[in-house]
Amino acid sequence: MSDYAIGIFEELPTKNTVKKAIKNGQIRVNEQQATTGIYVEEGMVISLFEPPISLTPYPLEIEKVYEDDHLVVVSKPAGLPTNGNYYRTLEAALAHEYVLPKIAGALLSPRTVHRLDSPTTGLVIAAKTAKSRFLLGQQFEKGSIQKTYHALVMGETPASGVITTPIAGKEAMSTFQKVSAVRSPMNDYLTLLRLQPKTGRTHQLRIHCAASGFPIYGDQEYAEHTIQNKGLFLAATAIAFEHPITGANLEVTIALPAKFENRMKNEDKRWKRHRR
């Protein structure tokens, strides 16, 4: 059932969403609750029960970088969960002042089709219709959506590289290119990297950078010694994908947060004072 249901319900675009729906009792077979182990046979009546989800809007203005009737790409601020059982989330903020598009399959509020860690800032895609949500979910499942991040890391790095450290027993791959570096009295170097995850493991870039000997600046979970109370210096700065309805190739970008350049300038000044 978990394999068969992918693609027959637009509301369930990926294998994970299908498994979650089965676990929550939302998929029925012949009016009986389904299990993942059921083999689909001819004549079965398979239905989906999905109660309308209405989020309590959270009054927070979110920067919209790209928007049309089918989707919106926004810049998530650091410290805001993407979704989940909280009042203060990106999805709840998107429900604030939302204008329901007058097209078939419109959702009650935009639904994110992927996640960023709470301390990470940057671009997130949210679907406005069930069809867009389904098709974008398929793109993420196939790995055809290209995400680019920038991170400020502690230490000196090679000019470029590929990281393949497994995560939670699963294959994982990230590539990186050095953009610039400054000397730092605490870390010897602070290096700005451009990173692209080729797989989608939880905390992938944070784990990969730490495992490679250059943890992300401000990472309280994976860096042994780092700055406190300045946030995580990781930003999703570009995302490229195929528009789910028009088929057009879209690439949405944002500028690097100012705190990255400011921190590098401050560290460079501190190093020069330290060397006098």
Q: Which residues of 200-233 are buried (b: 16+ CB within 10 A; e: fewer)?
A: ebeebbbbbbbbbebbbbbbeebbeebbeeebbb
Cα gap 271→1, rounded to integer Å: 60
- Which amino acid makes up residue 133? R
Q: Which residues are catalytic?
A: 117
Q: What is the DSSP string of 59-94?
A: ----EEEEE-SSEEEEEEPTT--SSSS-SSSHHHHH
Tokens, residue 113: 């089709």
Alpha helix stretches (DSSP H) within the chain: 15-23, 90-95, 130-142, 204-211, 258-275
Strand partners, 249: 242
Cα gap 268→158, rounded to integer Å: 20
Tokens, residue 94: 């998107």
